[in-house]
Amino acid sequence: MSSLLTIRSVTIRTRLALQFAAILAVTLLLFSLVIYFFTYQSRRNSFTDSLFARARIVAHVYLDGTNRGDEASRASYRRYLRQFYRTLPAEEVRVYDARNQVVFREGQQTGVPVPASLLSKVRQTGSLVNLGSDHAQTVGMLYRDARRGDFVVVASSVDADSQVEQRTLRKILAGGLLISFGIVGIGGWFFAGQALRPMQRIVQEVDTITAFDLHRRLSQADGQDEVSHLAQRFNSLLDRLETAFAGQRTFVRDASHELRTPLTVLTGELEVALLQERSPSEYRRVLQSTLDAARMLTALTNGLLQIARASDDPSQVPLAMVRLDELLLQAHEEVLRRQPTCRIDLEFGEPNSQGVAFGVMGNEPLLLSAALNVLENACKFSKDSQQPIMAIVTCLGRHVQLQIRDQGVGMSEADRQQVFVPFFRAEMVRNVPGHGIGLPLTAKIMALHGGSIRVDSELGMGTQVTLQLPLAGA
C-alpha cells in the first residue's frame, strides 16, 4: 500500500509540475509573440515614415533644383542637400509628372517600371504604402506645386536594420523561452513536492495506524486548507472505527460471558448425571434443568440475532404501515401468555388535530420485539408491586408516543445511564432472570426507525420508558 501511494503521489507531483510548466510556458510564449509583433509593427511604421520623408525631400530637391539656371548648379545643389540626410539601403526615388513620365530619379537605377495602377491610386488617395517581401517597402505620395502642377513621388527601399534587429530579437526571445521553460520545470517540480508534502506525511501516519492503536489521530487536521479537511474527515472515520471496534470487543466479551453460563449448566448437569446410576425422578430433574438451560441459551441466541438484525442498514429493512395501537394489543396478549400473573392496563389517547391515527412506517416484527422487551422488563421488575403497569399510546404533534410505567424497584442514576449497554444488569435486579439485551435491542430498533427511547427511573419508585416514533407521512 505504501509503494502504491508513493507511485500515485509521484504521478500527481509530475502532473502538477507539467501543468504548472505548461500554463507558464503558454503565457510566456504569448507574451513573446505580442512583444515581437508590436516591435515589428513599430519598426515598420517608423521605416514607412522615413520613406515618406525621403520622398518629400527628393521632391523638394527636384523642384528647387530645376529652378536653377544650369545643370552644373542643379547638380551642386543636390550634392549639397545629400550632406543633410542619410541614404536608405537599396533606395530608389522617382518623380513622375502629370503624364506619368519620370522627370527625376535619385538612388539606385533598377529599371523596374512602376505600375500605372499604383500611380493612379496615389493620385486618387494622396498617398499609398505597398509592402513587399523581405522587409521591402514602396510608398507613393502626391506632391502639389502651385506653379508647376502635381507630381507623384514614389520611393522604395529595404528595411535592412529591421531585418537584423528582428532576427536578434527572435534569438533573444527563443533563448529566454528555453531558459524560462527549464526554470519553470524545475521550480514546478519543487513547488509540487512542497504542496504534496503534507499528503506524504498523512500517508506515513496512516501506514502506522493499526487495529490495535485506533486511538491515534492524524496531525494535519488543525488548519483550514483542503489537506486539513481531508485529515479531519479521516480522523472522523477513525472515531467511528474506534467506536465500532470497541463495541465489537465489548459485545464479544459480554456475549461470551453470557453464553458460558447456560453452557456450563448444561455440561455440569450432564456430567453429574453420568457419574452413576440415578433414579428416574433424578434423571427427570436433570433433563428439566438441562431443558431450562437450553431454553436460556436459545433465548440469549435469539436476542443476539435480533441485535444484529436491528443493526442492519435501514435501507435493507422492509418497512410497511404499522398501527402502534394494534401492535400494543398484540404485545399485551403475548406478555400475558408469558407472564400470566402480570397486570397491564392499556390507555389509548385521541388522534392528533389532523385526525391522523397511530400509524407509523416500520418493520412490524422489530417494533413488536421492542414493545415486548419493555413490557416484559416492566413485569419482571415490578412483581412485588400491587400497582398495575400502565401502557399509554398518544399522538404528540407529528409523533406517536408509547409510555410504559411501572411501580417496581426502579434503579439508581448510575445504573440508568448504563441501561443501553448490552448485557448490563443493574445492581438491584441481578437476581431477576435476564440477559441485559432487551433495552439495548429496543434502542437499536428505535434508531433504525428514526425514533427515540428515554428511560426515567428512581430507586424504589419505579421506571418509565418512553418510545417515540414519527407518524407515517410526517
Q: Which distant-in-sequence residues (6+ apart) come within 8 Å of 96 by Cβ?
A: 102, 103, 114, 119, 151, 152, 153, 154
pLDDT bracket for residue 1 (50, 70, 90) = very low
Give residue 55's identity as a one-letter amino acid code.
Answer: A
Tell me which of 289, 309, 329 is where a domain ends.
Answer: 309
Highest mean pLDDT out of 28-37, 205-214, 278-287, 305-314:
28-37
Starting at the edge strand found earlier in the chain, the sheet holding 389-396 runs 344-348, 389-396, 399-406, 462-470, 452-458
Q: pLDDT value at position 6? A: 45
Q: Which range is least confidently modeled, 156-170, 188-202, 258-272, 451-465? A: 258-272
Q: Does 47 share its domain with 108?
A: yes
Q: Which distant-in-sequence residues (6+ apart) come within 8 Å of 362 by Cβ?
A: 319, 320, 322, 449, 469
Cell numbers describing residue 135: 522587409
Span 202-261, pLDDT tens digits? 777 777 777 777 777 777 666 667 777 787 888 888 887 777 777 667 666 656 655 665
Q: pLDDT value at position 8? A: 47
pLDDT bracket for residue 70 (50, 70, 90) = low
Average of per-residue pLDDT across 298-316:
61
User: Which residue is it, cell 504548472?
Assistant: 20
- Asked whether residue 71 is domain-assigned, the answer is yes
Q: Does 321 share its domain with 405?
A: yes
- Asked whether residue 142 is domain-assigned, the answer is yes
For residue 189, give the nearest of 411, 21, 361 by alpha carbon.
21
- Give the Å distances, CA to CA, from 222 to 164, 195, 208, 218, 231: 60, 17, 20, 10, 9
Q: pLDDT value at position 304? A: 60
Q: pLDDT value at position 429? A: 56
For residue 468, count other CB atoms closer than 10 A to its CB. Answer: 16
User: Which residue is it, cell 509628372?
Assistant: 97
Instruction: Say which CATH number the domain at 139 has.
Output: 3.30.450
- Asked whether residue 46 is domain-assigned, the answer is yes
Q: Does 304 share its domain with 321?
A: no
Residue 26 contacts residue 101 (beta carbons within 8 Å): no
User: Which residue is it, cell 415490578?
Assistant: 382
Q: Does 302 share its domain with 331?
A: no
Tell me which of 282, 309, 336 is where a domain ends.
Answer: 309
Domain encompassing residue 379: 315-470
Q: pLDDT value at position 467? A: 92
Q: How far, in Å, CA of 367 to CA of 324, rounded?
A: 9
Average of per-residue pLDDT across 120-138:
81
Helix (H) / strand (E) element for 136: namely: strand 136-145
Q: Does 381 share its domain with 444?
A: yes
pLDDT bracket for residue 84 (50, 70, 90) = very low
Counted domains in the chain: 3
Q: How far, in Å, CA of 155 to CA of 194, rounded?
A: 62
Q: Does 344 share its domain with 238?
A: no
Q: Does 12 share its domain with 124?
A: yes
- Asked whether residue 68 is domain-assigned, the answer is yes
255-278 as b/e, with b when 16 or more CB fall inside 10 Å?
A: beebbeebeebbeebeeebeeeee
pLDDT at 362 over 80: yes
Average of per-residue pLDDT across 66-88:
58
pLDDT at 313 over 60: no
- Asked whether residue 296 is domain-assigned, the answer is yes
- Give the Å distances, CA to CA, from 23 to 57, 172, 344: 51, 21, 79
Q: Which range is least confidently modeled, 21-25, 326-330, 416-420? A: 416-420
User: What mean pLDDT value characterizes the chain?
Assistant: 77
Q: Does 344 share its domain with 444?
A: yes
Tell me which of 283, 309, 335 is where a domain ends.
Answer: 309
Instruction: Say which CATH number the domain at 417 has.
Output: 3.30.565.10
Q: Does 352 share its domain with 333?
A: yes
Q: pLDDT value at position 5? A: 41
- Asked whether residue 199 is domain-assigned, the answer is no
Pairing of strands 389-396, 399-406: antiparallel
Q: Which range is least confidently modeled, 2-6, 126-130, 405-409? A: 2-6
pTM, two decimal places: 0.46
Starting at the edge strand found earlier in the chain, the sheet holding 127-131 runs 102-107, 92-96, 149-158, 136-145, 127-131
Q: Which distant-in-sequence residues (6+ apart) come within 8 Å of 66 by Cβ?
A: 74, 104
Q: Which range is least confidently modeled, 36-45, 266-275, 324-333, 382-391? A: 266-275
* Secondary structure of 312-327 in HEC code, one letter for each residue: CCHHHCCCEEEEHHHH
Q: Is 249 buried (19+), middle (13-18) or exposed (0-12) by CB count in 10 A?
A: exposed
Residues in the chain: 474
Cell numbers describing residue 12: 500527481
Helices (DSSP H) in 71-159: which residue ranges? 71-82, 116-125
Q: pLDDT value at position 232? A: 80
